[in-house]
């Protein structure tokens, strides 16, 4: 969702690559046919929306095995070349709202059924105006927190953070850490992945307004594979698995990132994001899916030499919604408008889901 807010932005950094030297006796988890298909769909969409960077990752929910990992980047000669961009970290925008809301639910002070007033779509706080995407049309008024997730309301998610943590940023960050949010910081075969980085009161330039921006996906740098790991844990009933590129024994990062009750509530909410919310473009008639759209305004890309506004567009989700087998992350970076995660990244997710349903034993 396009965020109509003025933010201190962090941008891109920390790009790495896949290590192509397969260790003796180890076999990759990559499904070659799926890899080729995912790369083709990614390339077509990047050309269509004029994206300059993108990636698609497909992972098995229960094991963490990565079945496809495709990356492309626009080159100076206007061609889209395959690249290993999977350790690049950036702000994730609205995808982070799921983590914020789940953390708020874990305090016991917020429930998805609780209502929140978003007014006319504009909320002044800490000297800033937080705006919902439809503020010019009068906003959403009163919503339940589940409905707020469906329409990706910035105001509602910020108010959930305020209600649950009473502006105690340390308590919030510790809750995210207990949920292993931003893990892992290394994956065998993936070069350059680093721990998630975020602003906090320990920083010399900290200002209180940054706490609010944490709620809606700013002030923290993550790689898409790290965000996918978090969503995969929700799909897996709360058990967080470490992504793996080589066949072997699955590794558990966190046995239960949140209570089973809250995980089940969030699973239902993510299904509704697609079935009746802004994630409609990811929906397919073949199988029920769940997930969340994301759009983030980025600062000037360190690897590019122009000053035009850049956006990170994404969709992260899983399927089947009721018995998840695969989780998928679609990430696109582009310059200028239009820029909409649901309409640009969502269809890539849908195409990969339909391929897997038709071409595997799920069909």
- Per-residue pLDDT of 133-169, as tens digits, reads 999 999 999 999 999 999 999 999 999 999 999 989 9
Domain coordinates in residue numbering, the chain: 17-359
Q: State the pLDDT at residue 7.
A: 29
Q: State the pLDDT at residue 3.
A: 30
Q: State the pLDDT at residue 10.
A: 34
Give the H/E segment covering residue 131. strand 128-131
Is 218 a residue whose pLDDT tops 60? yes
Q: CATH assignment of 17-359, given 3.40.710.10, 1.10.287.110, 1.20.120.340, 3.40.50.2300?
A: 3.40.710.10
- Per-residue pLDDT of 34-74, as tens digits, reads 999 999 999 999 999 999 999 999 999 999 999 999 999 99
Q: Which residues contact 128 (CB under 8 A, 6 or more apart)?
A: 5, 6, 209, 212
Distance CA 279, CA 289 (A): 10
Is 302 a residue whose pLDDT tops 60? no
Q: State the pLDDT at residue 299.
A: 73
> What is the value of pTM for the model shown?
0.93
Q: Give the residue carrying structure tokens 């799926």.
A: 34
Distance CA 31, CA 28 (A): 8
Give the H/E segment covering residue 272. helix 260-276
């Amino acid at each position: 969702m396009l965020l109509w807010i003025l933010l201190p932005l962090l941008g891109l950094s920390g790009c790495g690559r896949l290590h192509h030297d397969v260790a003796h006796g180890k076999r990759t988890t990559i499904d070659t046919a799926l890899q080729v298909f995912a790369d083709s769909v990614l390339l077509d969409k990047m050309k269509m929306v004029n994206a300059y960077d993108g990636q698609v990752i497909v992972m098995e929910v229960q094991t963490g095995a990565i079945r496809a990992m495709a990356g492309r980047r626009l080159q100076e000669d206007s061609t889209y070349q395959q690249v290993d961009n999977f350790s690049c970290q950036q702000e994730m925008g609205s995808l982070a709202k799921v983590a914020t809301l789940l953390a708020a639910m874990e305090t016991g002070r917020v429930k998805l059924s609780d209502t929140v007033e978003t007014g006319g779509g504009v909320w002044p706080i800490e000297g800033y105006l937080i705006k919902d995407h439809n503020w010019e049309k009068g906003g959403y008024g009163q919503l339940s927190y589940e409905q707020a997730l469906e329409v990706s309301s910035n105001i509602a998610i910020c108010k959930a953070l305020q209600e649950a943590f009473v502006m105690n940023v340390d308590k919030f960050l510790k809750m995210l850490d207990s949920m292993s949010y931003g893990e892992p910081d290394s994956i065998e075969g993936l070069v350059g992945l680093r721990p998630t980085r975020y602003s906090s009161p320990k920083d010399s330039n900290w200002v209180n307004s940054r706490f609010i921006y944490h709620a809606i996906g700013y002030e923290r740098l993550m790689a898409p594979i790290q965000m996918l790991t978090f969503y995969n844990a929700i799909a897996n009933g709360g058990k967080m698995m470490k992504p793996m590129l080589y066949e072997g024994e699955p590794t558990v990062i966190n046995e239960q990132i949140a209570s089973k009750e809250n995980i089940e509530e969030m699973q239902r909410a993510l299904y509704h994001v697609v079935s009746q919310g802004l994630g409609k473009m990811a929906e397919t008639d073949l199988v029920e899916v769940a997930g969340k759209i994301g759009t983030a305004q980025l600062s000037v890309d360190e690897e590019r030499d122009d000053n035009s506004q850049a956006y990170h567009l994404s969709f992260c989700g899983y399927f089947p919604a009721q018995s998840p087998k695969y989780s998928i992350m679609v990430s696109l970076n582009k310059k200028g408008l239009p820029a909409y995660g649901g309409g640009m990244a969502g269809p890539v997710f849908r195409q990969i889901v339909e391929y897997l349903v038709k071409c595997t034993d799920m069909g």
